[in-house]
Amino acid sequence: MQNNQQKEPKKNDNFFNKNPLLVFAIFSVLTILLFKSFFEDGGMDGTTQGGTQTQSVSYYDLKKLIETNQVSYVSIGESSIKATGKGEAKTAFIAKRVLPDDTLVPLLEKQNVKYGAYTDKNWLTDLVFGWVLPVFIFFGIWMFLTSRMQKNMGGGILGIGSMKKLMNSEKPKVKFADVAGNDEAKEEVQELIEFLKSPDRYIKLGAKIPKGVLLVGPPGTGKTLLAKAVAGEAEVPFFSVSGSSFIEMFVGVGASRVRDLFDQAKKEAPSIIFIDELDAIGKSRAMGGIGGNDEREQTLNQMLAEMDGFGAESPVIVLAATNRPEILDPALLRPGRFDRQVLVDKPDFKGRVEILKVHAKNVKLASDTDLEELAKLTAGLAGADLANIINEAALLAGRESKESVSQENLKEAVERAIAGLEKKSRRISPKEKRIVAYHESGHAIVSQTTRGSKNVNKVSIIPRGLAALGYTLNTPEENKYLVQKHELIAEVDVLLGGRAAEELFIGEISTGAANDLERATDIIKSMIMYYGMSEVAGLMVLEKQRSTFLGGGMTQAKDYSEKMSEELDAYIKAKLAERYEAVKAKLEIYREAMETMTAELLEIEVLEKDRVEAIIADFEKERGIIRESDDDELHAPDKSKGKSA
């Protein structure tokens, strides 16, 4: 009962409180009508003003009164005429003037009635309607809108300097058990959790916890999820906001929002502030060019000042995420600000298995599913990609009205993620189908028989994606962080295998190898420009890479002579021609295996890994070809049956 009595006075659901603007508008209109009726019409008919009875008459009746000598004086205004009647009562007549009327003045002179002019505008009416009322109405509307916006967005004129609507404030339920594949990153942030749980223990010892932790890694690796897990484990408020939310067209708004964000976090301390896409506001000021961006720089300066202002009395930790750490301002990365950087990288095999298990926890899997096999097929993919694969597999199983998700559904989902959607409805002619079959067989043969290349998992001539008429699915056994020279050459050979197969077995090349040639050329260029793997440039680095996590990114303008440029072009051309001839020689050795693989592709359209390996193994056994794992040579004992590649 007591609680109910306390709540009742807070209820204000009547019409006036719900619609203050509408009530104010109705009141203003009624006031205007009242003033207009009273002042412009000279008062209501029959009223008495100053002892004189005022009577409203028509203009025609007023002229009749003048003609019958019942009027002693007439006052002519712009829109009305006032007449004073004769006799002791002195009735005042008022009529609206009919314009123009050239007979009125001659009539007055004929009847010897005195007349004059008067101003029929009331000064009070002009003041009220010309100045007071409009200002009053505008001020009332402005006050109402301001108070409403401040209430909804919290502070600042119209709330544009507030973060309440742009920030998510919560206590996440995410725990470290929900974050898989990032064991090293979890260990790095474990200390933050201990500090947030028991800040006094550290403060008494004089220890200083890192004020800012920067989570660095490629997109989709779980940086945001890790930040939520830190807050969830520490059981503290979590304020998350995107870096782009600070930037507006008004200078100073971003800085105001930074202050507002940190003030709210300090009130809830101990707490965590998480800023996603920090590079949106933390880009190096040296990259801004002449003049720079004043709004972004003010926002960055305010953030630097706020992080410096943190003390032991306000245990607030700032977590930020970015996939472009190389462009951040050095002032953000100095000790005392984001003085600890945690790499959240793409998961390894063990991490992928754990991530797949986490996302498959609520998915009904069939008994034949093998997540470890799936992890081998998804090397190089991030956590977000793996989550999407599990979801895509569940959708495929539902589309087929299955009761559980099978291993085939999971493999199909991987192919969709890597190669694109299967286009079974895309019809290609038998001639083109034969070209595609030889092309993909060439890729597969070279890939499977070249040391340092990726293993073949599947060969298909079913169109996928936007333009691919077929594909050879090559996946590495594990993530690679270093690539050796022979592995780069092997990748070039595999790319050239499709075109070489067309030339050898079709007798004419097609446009299907355009992307293969582009990628092969880029690899040779990178070997020369960046890695010092050529004789023409030696150990010289001719271009510098800027981006670490986005796969190359922008590069600086060329810093070498025209003569060197000509030598580079000649070397790239010669190197590609050399590898092309080597690939053709290898395909000549495996001609019978090529024909067998192509025939099966034309018949069943898809060959799995086991069948590809079997075709090549049977051929090598029959011909006595031995492939050594540490050598790129093929040894054939009978030169009439084959030759060294």
Q: Please give the model's pTM, rounded to 2 decimal places.
A: 0.64
What pLDDT is attached to residue 503? 94
Token pair of 619, please? 């051929």
What pLDDT is attached to residue 116? 79
Is residue 273 within 8 A of residue 315, CB to CB? The reply is no
Residue 312 has pLDDT above 80, yes or no: no
What pLDDT is attached to residue 583? 96
Confidence of residue 618 (pLDDT cuts 50, 70, 90): very high
What value does the CA radius of gyration of the chain take, rounded to a whole number of Å?
Answer: 42
Average of per-residue pLDDT across 91-109: 76
Residue 291 has pLDDT above 60, yes or no: no
What pLDDT is attached to residue 520? 95
Token pair of 634, please? 């093929």
The residue ranking higher by pLDDT, 4 or 165, is: 165
Q: Which pairs count as long-range contacts for 192-195, CB under 8 Å and 24+ apart, including other chains? A: 192/230, 192/234, 192/317, 193/230, 193/233, 193/234, 195/270, 195/315, 195/317
Segment among 94-98, 271-275, 336-340, 578-582 with least mean pLDDT: 94-98
Percent of the chain scoring above 90 in pLDDT: 20
Which listed residue (295, 306, 440, 491) is catalytic?
440
For tokens 């495929």, name the residue: 396
Burial class of residue 176, CB neighbours in 10 A (0-12, 13-18, 19+):
middle
What pLDDT is attached to residue 330? 86
Token pair of 623, please? 């011909």
Residue 476 has pLDDT above 60, yes or no: yes
Confidence of residue 444 (pLDDT cuts 50, 70, 90): very high
Segment among 133-142, 238-247, 589-598 with least mean pLDDT: 133-142
Is residue 219 within 8 A of residue 323, CB to CB? The reply is yes
What pLDDT is attached to residue 554? 47
Residue 162 has pLDDT above 70, yes or no: no
What pLDDT is attached to residue 123? 56
What pLDDT is attached to residue 549? 44
Give the model confidence (pLDDT) of 260-283 as tens digits.
888 888 888 788 888 888 888 888
Average of per-residue pLDDT across 218-237: 87
Residue 159 has pLDDT above 50, yes or no: no
Residue 555 has pLDDT above 70, yes or no: no
Q: Which alpha helices (H) appear in 363-451, and where do they start and end?
A: 371-377, 383-399, 407-419, 430-449
Residue 292 has pLDDT above 50, yes or no: no
Residue 32 has pLDDT above 90, yes or no: no
The residue ranking higher by pLDDT, 13 or 617, is: 617
Burial class of residue 117, CB neighbours in 10 A (0-12, 13-18, 19+):
exposed
What pLDDT is attached to residue 552? 42
Confidence of residue 447 (pLDDT cuts 50, 70, 90): very high
Residue 39 has pLDDT above 70, yes or no: no
The structural domains of the chain, ordered by start, are 41-121 (3.30.720.210), 168-343 (3.40.50.300), 349-417 (1.10.8.60), 430-635 (1.20.58.760)
Residue 500 has pLDDT above 90, yes or no: yes
Confidence of residue 437 (pLDDT cuts 50, 70, 90): very high
Is 595 labeled as catalytic in the residue annotation?
A: no
∠ CA 621-622-624, rounded to 5°: 60
For tokens 């333009």, name the residue: 467
What distance in Å separates the CA atoms of residue 95 and residue 158, rounded to the nearest whole number?
51
What distance in Å separates the CA atoms of residue 332 and residue 213, rounded to the nearest whole number?
11
Average of per-residue pLDDT across 204-208: 78
What pLDDT is attached to residue 37? 57
Confidence of residue 147 (pLDDT cuts 50, 70, 90): low
What pLDDT is attached to residue 424? 63
Confidence of residue 525 (pLDDT cuts 50, 70, 90): very high
Token pair of 288, please? 């801004």
Nearest one of 619, 627, 602, 585 to 496, comparing CA atoms: 585
Residue 102 has pLDDT above 80, yes or no: no
Segment among 197-201, 332-336, 490-494 with least mean pLDDT: 197-201
Average of per-residue pLDDT across 10-32: 58
Cβ count near 469 (within 10 Å): 20
What pLDDT is attached to residue 518? 94
Q: Number of helices and strands (H, E) in the chain?
A: 24, 19
Percent of the chain scoring above 70 in pLDDT: 74
Residue 541 dihedral angles phi and psi, to the nearest 5°: -100, 115
Give the model confidence (pLDDT) of 248-260 as tens digits.
655 567 778 888 8
Give the model confidence (pLDDT) of 581-613 as tens digits.
999 999 999 999 999 999 999 999 889 889 999
Residue 409 has pLDDT above 70, yes or no: yes
Confidence of residue 31 (pLDDT cuts 50, 70, 90): low
What pLDDT is attached to residue 120? 60
Segment among 359-368, 410-419, 599-608 with least mean pLDDT: 410-419
Beta strands, E only, 228-270: 238-242
Residue 143 has pLDDT above 60, yes or no: yes
What pLDDT is attached to residue 523? 94
When mean pLDDT is compared over 201-205, 446-450, 548-552, the highest value belongs to: 446-450
* Distant-in-sequence, close-in-space partners of 39: CB < 8 Å, separation ≥ 6: 122, 124, 125
Average of per-residue pLDDT across 364-385: 88
What's the whole-number average pLDDT of the chain? 78
Segment among 47-56, 62-71, 306-315, 376-385 with least mean pLDDT: 47-56
